Structure 1
Amino acid sequence: MDAQLAVIGLGSIGSMALWQASRLGGSVVGFEAATPAHGRSAVGGDTRLFRMVYLGKPDYYPIIERSRSLWAELEAETGQEILTPTGGLSIGTVNGRFINGLLETARANGAEHRVLSREELAKRYPQHNLRPDDCALYDPRAGVLRTDRAVSAAVTAAQANGATVLQNTPVDSITETDHGVVVTSGDRSWTFEKVIVASGGWSRRLMPDHLKAVTETHRIVLTWFVAQDATQFSPENFPVFSRLYGDRSLYGAPAVDGVTVKASVDGPLDGRGRETPDPDSVPRELTRREIEKVTEIVTDFFPGLIPTIVRADAFPDLFTEDRHPLLGWLDENSRVYCATGFSGKGFKMATGYGHIAAHEALGKQTIGGLDFVRPDRFKIR
């Protein structure tokens, strides 16, 4: 054996799995096709939203709780500021499906939150142009994550704990044998007891056919705008936000660079819906329709932003058929563990997912209640 464990892909989840595995004392090797936090991966785009008030399955809440603690541990271990507290706003129609769904999940989880009326919202956060029937859920524990810094910190911490990192080493194949898993890159090969596949949009190349059939690589578009008064949109004054009104959906983050505000379309039309078969050839330029769509919404929602896109980019991520991750062994006898398919919403919980993957791959105890993310839910059809 070359090592006990290999982690393939050192992006959002793989970097955290490598860090967590290195803390457990096992021998671990990380494979990265380019370099950690490279600009073409799903890590790209500087920031991601962290929220405790989460729309969807209550089953995610223990992972979010664990993730928040682990972000703090990564900061303490590396001396890096990764999660900047800002609070978070979810804005929608009073008694609408969006707000009611958030309330239902928050109450089921016991997540701290406060409902803000339109009047309270307008007074506290005048940056938002509100409709008469708007209200918001305020999440006091939300914030903004620095993606590049997080991944780099996790990889550096893992190396300090003894992990080996192989950069510019794209994996061509993984093959299970009676004794382990053979990982091949070009004319080189290594053998490990177990392997974690965490290569995001590139994971399909290493998956069995029945999982390829229920996954797609999608293109995620991010856009930034300049504020007329940057102080209004600073992390101290402008919480991370998501907003839904009719068919318009937008999310974003404050001006962490002191200049530009992230405001991106979130929805099946453009934000997360465009399939990209080849993650190496994701179209980075926005189409005219995409530019018009996001500019129209930003002009409507934020009169304090200059309605011209000053920066835009696009990144690949792997989406599953049911939009829940693939987290677990390929099957009960496999030595290959999946940590992929996070469907455009994995980074906030990256430390938690990395913790689960590393602990389970090394035979350690972790949290329960994870049947909804197990790969075997997509049995061979």
Structure 2
Amino acid sequence: MTDGKLAVIGLGSIGSMALWQASRLSGSVTGFEAASPAHGRSAAGGDTRLFRMLYRGIPDYYPILERSRSLWAELEAETGQNILTRCGGISIGAANGSYLSALLETTRMNGAEHAILSREEMAERYPQHNLRRDDIAVYDPHAGALRTDRAVTAAVAAAQANGATIHTKTPIDDITETADGVVITSGERCWTFENVIVSSGGWSQRLMPDYLKAATQTKRVFLSWFVAKDGPGFSPEKFPVFIRIHEDRSMYGAPAVDGVTVKATLDGRGGPIRDPDAVPRELTPGETSETIETVTEFFPGLFPSIVRSDAFPELFTTDGHPLLGRLKESSRIYCATGFSGGGFKNATGFGEIAAHEALGKRSFEGLDFVRPERFNLRRPAS
């Protein structure tokens, strides 16, 4: 006898969505969360994440993005929550620079809807940005700001409404495959499930086999916010989400969803940490000075002082792609982690894939680039 068909360990960005999707497929699903959904140290923290259809890299993400966009709307309809603020998005860089060249190459391969804005058009439409002489932008009409805490709590509530069981304040210490299923242990308590999804983000390493521990690293990701001198000018109606990369400067952010503070954060500055439970929350002097210098150049309409900052743990893989799939073909343990700082926009799509595959309802093709076994196959022969 088992305690259910599926356990989801970690109810954050991806786990909450996997639980929601699994609850649509089975009445025997249980979620385990070490703290509580959307707790203050979760990688989903910080109010917002960018949703965008335009990106640099392999085109294989695009179908997941399309499906995720539909599923965000389904979650909103099912829960009555406003989760995705649809305000559009802009990517800014040098006209002939490597960033926009790579983004446009991927965009054209996917056929994603977009518009190229000249420097003059940008200055007219979005005067909040202080542009360099050779800057242009690519506009994404389907981009927006995801309300992270609201999304996670809505997905967990929807799963509970569908009959899922939730255990909060229940950190999982160990998972072991047996002939009967997967035994999971928390302190002196244990349960056995037919299958288990590991989706505990920066805390996932402790539950991984050695070959995945070697291919992953927990990093500290920090965020920062600034007060707008003119709040309405940075509202979602007038200020799309943005990513700006130009040689020595890089930043991304979101509009003032609260009417006052604008998220403006340095891009790609995550550093390694040993303990996800002990992430330094305060910015270092170097992080603070670079952030303020960048905001001072990019946004004259923001007061050049950080009014709020925070930091969170996130699991990164060595190749930057997630871990999504079973540890091996016959395994009952399914990974949905290692999203390397870019998973939230696709959380609903990844959650759907994880739920269907872990329950054996459906398999998905074209996902070799995210399968955990890719790292096992790279190990040198003994």
CA distance in 2, matches of 1:296, 1:73: 40
Match of 1:316 in 2: 313
Written as runs of structure 1 = structure 2, the 5 A alignment for 1:277-292 is: 277-292=274-289
Q: Helix, strand or coil: the match of 1:307?
A: coil
CA distance in 2, matches of 1:7, 1:364: 16
Match of 1:300 in 2: 297
> Could you tell me how far 1:368 is from its partner in structure 2?
2.1
Of 312, 323, 326, 1:329 maps to: 326
Match of 1:147 in 2: 148
Match of 1:99 in 2: 100
Q: TM-score, normalised by structure 1?
A: 0.98
Contact 2:27–2:162, Cα closer than 8 Å, also in 1: no
Q: Helix, strand or coil: the match of 1:81?
A: coil
Kindly provide the CA deviation profile for residues 81-109 of structure 1, in whole angstroms up to 9, marking residues without a partner as x.
00010100000000211111111111100
CA distance in 1, matches of 2:218, 2:8: 20
Q: Helix, strand or coil: the match of 1:175?
A: strand
Match of 1:118 in 2: 119
CA distance in 2, matches of 1:134, 1:236: 23
CA distance in 1, matches of 2:285, 2:53: 35
Q: Helix, strand or coil: the match of 1:141?
A: coil
Contact 1:173–1:184, Cα closer than 8 Å, also in 2: yes
Listed as ranges, the gaps of 5+ residues in structure 1 are: none
Match of 1:223 in 2: 224
Count residues in correspondence: 377
Q: Helix, strand or coil: the match of 1:182?
A: strand
> Could you tell me how far 1:26 is from its partner in structure 2?
3.9
Q: Given the alignment of the two structures, is residue 276 of structure 1 paired with residue 276 of structure 2, yes or no?
A: no
CA distance in 1, matches of 2:281, 2:257: 23
Q: Given the alignment of the two structures, is residue 257 of structure 1 paired with residue 261 of structure 2, yes or no?
A: no
Contact 1:5–1:26, Cα closer than 8 Å, also in 2: no
Q: Helix, strand or coil: the match of 1:7?
A: strand
Written as runs of structure 1 = structure 2, the 5 A alignment for 1:239-254 is: 239-254=240-255
Q: Given the alignment of the two structures, is residue 203 of structure 1 paired with residue 204 of structure 2, yes or no?
A: yes
Listed as ranges, the gaps of 5+ residues in structure 2 are: none
Q: Helix, strand or coil: the match of 2:40?
A: coil
Q: Helix, strand or coil: the match of 1:204?
A: helix
Contact 1:5–1:196, Cα closer than 8 Å, also in 2: yes
Written as runs of structure 1 = structure 2, the 5 A alignment for 1:6-25 is: 6-25=7-26
Match of 1:137 in 2: 138
Match of 2:357 in 1: 360
CA distance in 1, matches of 2:195, 2:355: 10
Q: Helix, strand or coil: the match of 1:358?
A: helix
Kindly provide the CA deviation profile for residues 358-380 of structure 1, in whole angstroms up to 9, marking residues without a partner as x.
00001122542100000010014
Q: Given the alignment of the two structures, is residue 170 of structure 1 paired with residue 171 of structure 2, yes or no?
A: yes
CA distance in 2, matches of 1:364, 1:50: 28
Match of 1:370 in 2: 367
Kindly provide the CA deviation profile for residues 175-205 of structure 1, in whole angstroms up to 9, marking residues without a partner as x.
0001100000000000000000000000000
Aligned CA-pair RMSD: 0.7
Q: Helix, strand or coil: the match of 1:3?
A: coil
> Could you tell me how far 1:57 is from its partner in structure 2?
1.1
Match of 2:336 in 1: 339
Match of 1:185 in 2: 186
Contact 1:327–1:339, Cα closer than 8 Å, also in 2: yes
Amino acid corresponding to residue 355 of structure 2 in structure 1: A
Hey, which bits of structure 1, 4+ residues long, moved more than 3 A? Answer: none
Match of 2:91 in 1: 90
> Could you tell me how far 1:332 is from its partner in structure 2?
1.2
CA distance in 1, matches of 2:230, 2:132: 22
> Could you tell me how far 1:247 is from its partner in structure 2?
1.9
> Could you tell me how far 1:127 is from its partner in structure 2?
0.2
Kindly provide the CA deviation profile for residues 286-327 of structure 1, in whole angstroms up to 9, marking residues without a partner as x.
110000000000000000000000000000000000000000
Match of 1:28 in 2: 29
Amino acid corresponding to residue 180 of structure 1 in structure 2: G
> Could you tell me how far 1:341 is from its partner in structure 2?
0.2
Contact 1:201–1:316, Cα closer than 8 Å, also in 2: yes
Kindly provide the CA deviation profile for residues 327-365 of structure 1, in whole angstroms up to 9, marking residues without a partner as x.
000011210000000000000000001000000001122
Kindly provide the CA deviation profile for residues 138-176 of structure 1, in whole angstroms up to 9, marking residues without a partner as x.
000000000000000000000000000000000000000
CA distance in 2, matches of 1:159, 1:242: 36
CA distance in 2, matches of 1:366, 1:175: 24
Q: TM-score, normalised by structure 2?
A: 0.98
